[in-house]
Copies of this chain bind each other. A is one copy, B any other.
Amino acid sequence: MLKVAVIGASGYTGVELLRILINHPEVEICCVTSRQHEGQTINQVFPSLHGLCDLICEPLDVAAISSRVDLVFTALPHKSAMEVIPGFLDAGCRVVDLSADYRLKDQQVYESWYQTHSSPALLNEAVYGLPELYREVIPPARLVANPGCYPTSVILGVAPLLKQGLIQRSSIIVDSKSGTSGAGRSAKQGSLYCEVNEGFKAYAIGNHRHTPEIEQELSSLAGEKIIINFTPHLLPVNRGILSTAYADLVEDISSDDLIALYSEFYADEPFVRIMPGREYPNIAFVKGTNFCDIGLVSDPRTRRVIVVSAIDNLVKGAAGQAVQNMNLMCGFDERRGLTIVPTFP
């Protein structure tokens, strides 16, 4: 049994890791930490876990924890993550980091969107944990940077277009919509029920921190620098991201051909589902699962392609993908613990 710790277990990403790991046949959860809830059992923090997990929330003591576990999931805010990850690595633990701290390869880019990086040497070592693109390099990694939720939906959605050179590279516009769990469990006025319910808005237009992460990966796929428009919106639902991407096609191609091309591109992927023609993804159909559903339209009137991709932001956009990475790192079947059927309705 692989011994793991969930660092920062009292957030929505933390409890989602527990939801998946509790039923993972190869894993033993040995430690959960929470500064805010230290000394409480995790099922006091999340009564949903009564009878399922009664670990006590520990303080974040790297030395103590690293001696007891093989692999650590860090579900901390950026900045907090990089304060402890080098310690876990030095102590011989492998790490799947769900923060943004090791996703960007370029220290300068990181520092211009976030803050000074305290362990820039690790930026190169860290592997960007999107298995559909980096499956070969994840298994030996010590440190996997689990992708952001928006980036996961966007990169999987447009990767085949860029890889195949089907679109004008300066023409990508991404309009994304995320459920409210993406804003975390800390008490902020903007996340209150009455502020979100029956509302819908765009935010951080032109300056959301997931922009450079998306651009890094799209640039890598395209082999040249890609700059995009990325507009996130806040959806009044608990879970789910739906991204609608637009790009100019370089030549005519039908919706059917695009669908065939995507189906081929993702043929061996257990967690990517390409919708049949005229069917489009709905976040309701991936709820609770590690799936990324993708629908495609080629619009002959404007010669643009529209790609719609849907994920559960807490699963494929966070905890599920983290477990997928753990499975790859540890030689387990990639789908272990993740064969969850969507809960609909």
Contacts and interface: CB of A to CB of B under 8 A. Distances in A.
Contact of A189 (B187, B189, B195): B187
Contact of A288 (B23, B195, B343): B343
A286 to B, nearest CB: 8
A200 B200 CA distance: 12
B23 A202 contact: no
B198 A284 contact: yes
28 contacts: A12-B345, A19-B343, A47-B279, A48-B284, A49-B341, A50-B273, A52-B341, A173-B173, A173-B246, A175-B244, A187-B191, A192-B193, A195-B345, A197-B197, A197-B238, A198-B238, A198-B284, A198-B287, A199-B240, A199-B283, A199-B285, A202-B306, A205-B280, A206-B301, A227-B301, A227-B302, A235-B236, A236-B237
The listed residue with most B CB atoms (<10 A of its CB), out of A192, A237, A291, A295, is A192
Interface in A72-94: none
A297 interface: yes
Contact of A177 (B177, B189, B196, B293): B177
Contacts of A279: 47
Contact of A237 (B23, B199, B291, B304): B199
A299 interface: yes
Contact of A304 (B52, B173, B193): B173
The listed residue with most B CB atoms (<10 A of its CB), out of A20, A194, A199, A238, is A194
A339 B25 CA distance: 12
A321 B293 CA distance: 31
A341 B48 contact: yes
Interface in A11-43: 12, 15, 18-20, 22-23
Contact of A341 (B22, B185, B195): B22
A99 interface: no
Given A193-B197, A198-B237, A206-B297, 12 more contacts: A20-B341, A46-B344, A50-B275, A51-B291, A173-B173, A177-B233, A197-B197, A198-B284, A199-B283, A199-B284, A205-B280, A233-B242
Given A198-B198, A242-B202, A229 B282 contact: no
Interface of A: 12, 15, 18-20, 22-23, 46-52, 170, 173, 175, 177, 180-181, 185-189, 191-203, 205-206, 227-229, 231, 233, 235-240, 242, 244, 246, 273, 275, 279-288, 291, 293, 295, 297, 299, 301-302, 304, 306, 308, 310, 339-345
Contact of A47 (B12, B189, B285): B285
Contacts of A201: 242, 280-284, 308, 310
Smallest CB-CB A-B distances: 5 pairs: A199-B284, A194-B345, A201-B282, A48-B342, A175-B175
Given A47-B279, A283-B201, A206 B15 contact: no
B283 A200 contact: yes
Contacts of A191: 187, 192-194
